[in-house]
Amino acid sequence: MTVASKVGHPLRTLVACFIVIAVLYGVMAVTKSWTPRLGLDLSGGTTITLTARNISGKGGVSATSLDQARTIIQQRVDGLGVGESQVTTAGGNQIIVSAPNVQRDELIQQVGQTAELRFRAVYDQQQTTPTSKPGDNSKAGSPSDSGTASAEPSSSPSPRSTATAKSKGNGRPAPALPTEPPAPAAPFPTDKTKAVPADQAINWQPSSDVQSAFASFTCPRDTDTYTDVADKPLFACDEAGTTKYLLGPTVISGNELTSASAGLGQQGSIGWQVDLGLNGKGASQFQNVTGVLATRQSPQNQFAIVLDGTVVSAPYVDKAIPGGQATISGGDMNQQRAQNLANVLRYGQLPLAFEISSVDTVSASLGGEQLQAGLIAGAVGMALVLIFCFLYYRGLGLVVIASLAVAFGTTYASMVLLGAAVGFALSLAGIAGAIVAIGVTADSFVIYFARIRDEVGEGRTIRTAVETGWRRARQTILVADAVSFLSALILFIVAIGSVRGFAFTLGLTTIIDVVVVFLFTKPLVTLLSRTKFFGGGHKLSGLDARHLGVQALPGNRRRVRAASATAGRSTGSDA
């Protein structure tokens, strides 16, 4: 079998390569995504410092609890589709959260909630005037209207029950930085109230001391004075701080929650809602609690859905609700609010309570200067590579340039699409990884050219050397790229922060290098070797005898010898 029969169809391979690139840019056009998402250091973003304390308010903060909280907060931030986010611990009791492409209030809302979800019976409800300043955003918003709890009809065998509440429904509002000490409040008679088991909590009745303390209670709730303890009563406020509630001990714990999802209402319901699913124990308790509440008069026929000590919904109950399904809906709940609340609940309860120590905004202008410096560095590196290629490889330098151009186009399209699909954000470290890829792509060609040179030195023609040299070079290229990719993978797993961005970009560009070398560089060299300029060893082609380290090209040497023999025979016949 000849070498030519093993070459295949290089033109078809090149066409396939360009089809792949065309598909990538076609997807960009359909999704209207033309620029990559930028990281915190390039586009600006928010950095929040959280100081942790035990939920009970007693004892120190353990390293295990802090690390668990960091993991949950990282999951919440990633759930927003944010790439290049950084969640790190510092100082033994602090967590620092940095995220690009996200609004300040939205990030605060996600990372600041402990997500303690509890269902409590309502024993009193009164309107109140918030004591916070008008400019305090911590309680800004409209009052939460009470809704009704009912079982929705369903065509499924098990009717789906929902507790519908007309409230903001987005969980605890974004906490604001304290500007002054909280207003004095009457002490909550915690020591005078005993812990109540969950199965007896529905029958708890407030004492005169508790009712007296509630009369002087004002919103917002002082968390140091009015501690949210599961088996004791609670004074709480709605999100706007205009309604205060006297709540009994917890009748259903958030630990009984099995699912939380956001979606549009069904069967004629309008607007977004959060559907909560309870386990078997929770479903049984929920049916029992709603059955008892349905026999009471207003406002004691309500149950409050309490998230982090704030009443997010307080629906009325007119009958027992079986099935273990509840829904938070109504009010001004929109898609973002519903998804944020479901995200917080789905990723679990934080083991610690947090106070916001500082919120800093990173300006995009600084990132623009850094981006410009990074691009200049990349351009300088590219220029040096191109100069070297033309000086050393001459005409073959065009192959290197074309390979780098294809690699750049593929990498850019991949970054844009990954940003839209999985939230990948390009940072300065990522740009550094992309610049390193210039050397990776150029190095693959250097290996290939070195093998071609060796093959010509062993007496093979250029066309044959291109093919046999490739079979020997591709193994070395694959091994080198495998080592590079493995390094990037390990770095991505063990590193944090911007280093992961560098590792991700390096791994991505390494994979693209393999694709480009196999589908573009090699077929292009094969086609060029068939031309007279390159295959004939022109002195400017880079495949001439001098650059290949031989006195004469093997094919040319045979032709010279044949011409000399013909001339000798002609001279003899004349004689």
What are the structural domains, with CATH classification, of the chain?
Answer: 3-36+366-559 (1.20.1640.10), 45-107 (3.30.70.3220), 115-347 (3.30.1360.200)
Tell me if 21 sits within 8 A of 413, measured CB to CB. Answer: yes
Structure tokens at 543: 């495949």
Nearest Cα to Cα of residue 189 among 227, 152, 142: 227
Region 470-483 average pLDDT: 89
Better pLDDT: 433 or 165 = 433
Query: In this predicted model, what pLDDT tens digit does every residue of 207-250 receive, in sequence order?
Result: 888 888 888 888 887 766 677 788 888 898 887 788 899 998 98
Specify the pLDDT at position 573. 44
- Pick the more confident residue, 101 or 29: 29
For 14, 71, 79, 86, 87, the CA distances from 76, given in Å and listed in that order, are: 44, 9, 5, 12, 11
pLDDT in tens, 276-295: 888 888 888 888 888 888 88
Q: How confident is the model at residue 122 (pLDDT cuts 50, 70, 90)?
A: very high
Rounded to an integer, the average pLDDT of 527-536 is 84
Residue 556 pLDDT class (50, 70, 90 cuts): low
Percent of the chain with pLDDT over 70: 74
What are the DSSP E strand ranges found in 240-369? Answer: 243-253, 257-264, 272-278, 303-307, 310-313, 316-317, 325-329, 352-362
Give ∠ CA 255-256-257 in degrees, rounded to 5: 90
Task: Please determine, for residue 68, whether its predicted confidence score (pLDDT) is greater than 70.
Answer: yes
- Percent of residues in the chain assigned helix, strand, coil, to nearest 5: 50, 20, 30
Instruction: At 231, list the tokens.
Output: 């088996």
C-alpha–C-alpha distance, residues 52 and 93, integer Å: 5
The pLDDT of residue 129: 81
Confidence of residue 172 (pLDDT cuts 50, 70, 90): very low
Is residue 139 within 8 A of residue 173, CB to CB? The reply is yes
The pLDDT-based confidence of 8 (bands split at 50, 70, 90) is low
- pLDDT for 162: 37
- Whether residue 272 is predicted with pLDDT greater than 60 in this model: the reply is yes
CA pair distance 103, 110, nearest whole angstrom: 11
- Cα–Cα dist 62/263, whole Å: 37
Mean pLDDT of 534-556: 74
Residue 98 has pLDDT above 50, yes or no: yes
User: What pLDDT is recorded for position 315?
Assistant: 79
Distance, first Cα to last Cα, the chain: 45
Min mean pLDDT across 177-181, 455-459, 491-495 is at 177-181
Q: Are strands 148-151 and 316-317 parallel, antiparallel or unpaired?
A: parallel
């997010």: which residue's tokens? 312
pLDDT tens-digit map of 320-351 = 888 888 777 765 677 877 877 777 677 666 77
Is 170's pLDDT higher than 70? no
Residue 536 has which token pair? Answer: 């004939």
* pLDDT on residue 22: 92
Q: Is 140 a residue whose pLDDT tops 50?
A: no
pLDDT at 124 over 80: yes
Give the per-residue pLDDT at 158. 29
Give the model's pLDDT for residue 115. Answer: 66
- Residue where the block lists tokens 């919440």: 76
Q: Confidence class of residue 486 from pLDDT cuts 50, 70 and 90?
A: very high
Percent of the chain with pLDDT over 90: 4
CA distance 279 to 256: 6
Please tell me the distance from the alpha carbon of residue 575 to that of residue 564, in angstroms, as a whole number.
17
What region, left, alpha or beta, does residue 344 occupy, with left being phi > 0 and alpha being psi -120 to 50 degrees? Answer: alpha
Give residue for tokens 């393999």: 514
Q: Tell me how far apart the alpha carbons of residues 39 and 433 are, in angstroms, rounded to a whole number.
A: 14
- pLDDT-based confidence at 19, cuts 50/70/90? very high
The mean predicted confidence, pLDDT, of the chain is 74
- Return the pLDDT at 245: 92
**Distance of alpha carbon 144 from alpha carbon 313, whole angstroms:** 7
Q: What is the pLDDT of residue 103?
A: 67
Q: Which 8-state DSSP code applies to residue 58? A: -
* Candidate from 32-46, 72-86, 234-248, 341-355 with smallest mean pLDDT: 72-86
Strand, helix or coil for residue 281: helix
Read off the amino acid at residue 498.
S
Average pLDDT over residues 33-58: 76
